Amino acid sequence: MLEELQKNKDDNVTDKPLIGIGLDAAVIPIKGTEVFLLQTCDYFYPIIDDPFLMGKITCANVVSDLFAMGVTKIDSLQLILKNSTRMTEKEINVIVPLLIRGFKAAASKVGCKVQLLSAIENPWCTIGGIATSVCKSNEFIMPENAQLGDAIVLTKALGTQIACSVHHWIDVPEKWCKIKNLVKKEDLDKLLKQASYSMARLNLTAAVLMHKFNAHCCTDVTGFGILGHANNLVQFQKNKNIKFVIEKLPVFQNVDKVAKACNMSKLEKGLCPETSGGLLICMTPENANLFCKEIMELEKEKAWIVGHVAEGNCIAELVPAPEIIQADFNPRLFKEHGDDF
């Protein structure tokens, strides 16, 4: 329907952020004050079976649009939630509190209270949220200042949605037979865990470090895949004589193998949709190295320099045969975060 909506927009209807600025969030200057309103809203259906973890993922996904703008303080966070009309009362009583508790657990890490909004009746469970921040101009980073020679950093590995999909294939014989010689069931369990942990992880530390290391621009990787979002980001730049070149694709362990076996070529094309993906950030190569080092110190999590900014014509491109990097599976992390999972 989005295309329909777009056909019908005119002067005061837009699917883009308002007042012409902002990429991941609406950025609205407030007249007569020194502040800006930054706002984002997103909702969807649960994509994993664990409701607590799904609550965390929802929160991480909603606030990510603000973190991508370098916002580090959320002023208002609303959880939009409705059980499926097909759920039994018992299912509702178990699942809904866990979804809320998960969302809340993630929100508490942002230091923000949560207000509940009931979504309308739906055969599918609805979950999402609205995140709002009121910022001074130095508290967010307009994603428009990429420089020739910048390094491009990615803070999370790719493959979240594939990881969720393939896990269901264990129970579908005609799909399972395509991959059973490549991976063990335990590998897919691990893959789902790794992806779930990644989706639930907040991009907050990355947002804080964007300021420290003078990020020139940033977006978060979600529905359009790394290349799609790189393309959106490059078109937003003031400098129209640059291009973004992506050379490396960090992926969860085994996700590239199963994607290939199943003719899911979007991953290696950089176009595979992600849920609650990482930040894609341009900064000087020196700062990019320091950024990656510091995020590892603070979060024990890798970030990767995946590309660079070259002379070009406002496009993003993936090099032929990009290097596929297998992101480590770190069981220690799951132990440390045991209480949360």
CB of 31 to a second copy, least distance (A): 8
- State the Cα–Cα distance between residues 240 and 314, nearest whole angstrom: 6
Query: Whose Cβ is closer to a second copy: residue 26's or residue 259's?
Result: 26
Query: Whose Cβ is closer to a second copy: residue 103's or residue 213's?
Result: 103
Query: Whose Cβ is closer to a second copy: residue 110's or residue 152's?
Result: 110
CB of 97 to a second copy, least distance (A): 4
Query: Whose Cβ is closer to a second copy: residue 96's or residue 192's?
Result: 96
What kind and span of H or E run contains 72?
none
Q: How far is CA 187 from CA 47, 172, 179, in A?
A: 19, 17, 11
Q: Which residues contact 161 (CB under 8 A, 6 or more apart)?
A: 47, 272, 273, 274, 275
Q: Which alpha helices (H) appear in 31-180, and where do they start and end?
A: 51-67, 89-110, 160-169, 173-179
CB of 65 to a second copy, least distance (A): 12
Q: Which alpha helices (H) appear in 111-246, and where do they start and end?
A: 160-169, 173-179, 185-200, 204-212, 225-235
CB of 211 to a second copy, least distance (A): 16
Binding stretches for a second copy (CB under 8 A) = 1-2, 4-5, 7-10, 12-19, 26, 28, 30, 32-35, 37, 39, 41, 43-45, 75-76, 78-83, 92-93, 96-97, 100-101, 104, 107-108, 112-124, 126, 130, 132, 134, 136
CB of 185 to a second copy, least distance (A): 31
- State the Cα–Cα distance between residues 171 and 215, nearest whole angstrom: 44
CB of 154 to a second copy, least distance (A): 27
Query: Whose Cβ is closer to a second copy: residue 134's or residue 262's?
Result: 134
Query: Whose Cβ is closer to a second copy: residue 123's or residue 173's?
Result: 123
* Contact assessment for residue 194 and residue 156, using Cβ atoms and an 8 Å cutoff: no
